[in-house]
Amino acid sequence: MFTFIIKRNKNISRPFSKKKAALKEEQITFFLYLYLHQNL
């Protein structure tokens, strides 16, 4: 599931700069990390 969301985000962020896409990807991964840990 993690990989799917990151891959999907990469496709959406393609028109933007690589740096911006990487930052967005990090934010989503971090958000998911916090979300999953809150539910545990």
Report pLDDT digits (tens) over 1-40. 455 555 655 555 555 567 777 788 888 888 888 888 887 6
What integer pLDDT is reported at residue 19 of this predicted model?
Answer: 73
What integer pLDDT is reported at residue 3 of this predicted model?
Answer: 57
What integer pLDDT is reported at residue 15 of this predicted model?
Answer: 58
CA distance between the termini of the chain: 17
pTM: 0.43
